[in-house]
């Protein structure tokens, strides 16, 4: 029978801060148990500290359309089309907040959308080989006719265009690869696998 390891099978030897800016980077040395017995000693890794994020797919079941946001993303500088990406609303959990608090806050900050109902989608690790970022995804029921055209906080240097898309247009963009970031793809895949127009859950 394959062994099932937990936190108890990993030992942090040292943990040092290498950089503390918009993100943090730590140098971690650790030991861990091996599947075939014994211990792997002194594994060295850098870890990008991002924390817990929340993503929200905004959906109007009456008008049958989504609300997405478009903004520049420094990590997409090498995108052949543009580093301005079409995404779902998202933000980081701050001290004292629940994930639902963040979903409601970010929906308004980034799209001027008022959440009527939140439906949990999924929690997942973004890139656990080098980052501690975890994402909680939600579907939010909204009235898309009342969202803003532009949004974002000046204090966070956000310049956001709000985009309304029909269900068909969103599916087409997904299939054509015009929606190309993981959080948005995962949210849409869940939606198109689970949504039924007459489902009272939406």
Nearest-Å Rg of the Cα atoms of the chain is 20
Contact between residue 32 and residue 43 where contact means Cβ atoms under 8 Å apart: yes
Phi, psi of 103 (to 5 degrees): -60, -45
Distance CA 88, CA 55 (A): 6
What's the angle, vertex CA 187, arms to CA 199 and CA 170, rounded to 5? 80
Contact between residue 55 and residue 88 where contact means Cβ atoms under 8 Å apart: yes
Q: Where are the alpha helices (DSSP H) in 25-92?
A: none
Among 10, 14, 2, 4, smallest CA distance to 33 is for 10
DSSP secondary structure, 102-151, as one string: HHHHHHHHHH-PPPSEEEEEEEEES-TTTB--EEEEEEEE--GGG--SEE
Query: Active-site residue among 87, 106, 110, 156?
Result: 156
CA distances from 19 to 16, 32, 58 (A): 9, 25, 35
Contact between residue 93 and residue 99 where contact means Cβ atoms under 8 Å apart: yes
* Catalytic residue flag (residue 46): no
Catalytic residues: 156
């Amino acid at each position: 029978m394959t062994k099932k390891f937990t936190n108890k099978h990993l030992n942090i030897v040292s943990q040092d801060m290498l950089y503390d800016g918009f993100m943090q980077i730590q140098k971690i040395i650790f030991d861990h148990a091996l599947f075939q017995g014994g211990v792997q000693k002194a594994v060295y890794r850098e870890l990008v500290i991002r924390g817990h994020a929340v993503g929200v797919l905004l959906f109007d079941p009456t008008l049958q359309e989504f609300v997405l946001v478009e903004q520049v993303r420094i990590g997409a500088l090498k995108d052949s089309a543009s580093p301005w990406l079409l995404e779902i609303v998202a933000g980081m959990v701050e001290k004292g907040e629940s994930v639902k608090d963040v979903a409601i806050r970010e929906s308004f900050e980034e799209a001027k959308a008022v959440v009527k109902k939140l439906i949990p989608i999924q929690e997942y690790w973004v890139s656990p080989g080098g980052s501690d970022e975890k994402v909680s995804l939600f579907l939010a029921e909204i009235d898309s006719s009342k969202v803003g055209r532009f949004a974002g906080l000046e204090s966070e240097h956000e310049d956001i265009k709000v985009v309304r898309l029909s269900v068909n247009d969103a599916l087409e963009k997904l299939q054509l690869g015009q929606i190309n970031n993981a959080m948005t793809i995962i949210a849409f895949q869940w939606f198109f696998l689970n949504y039924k127009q007459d489902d009272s859950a939406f």
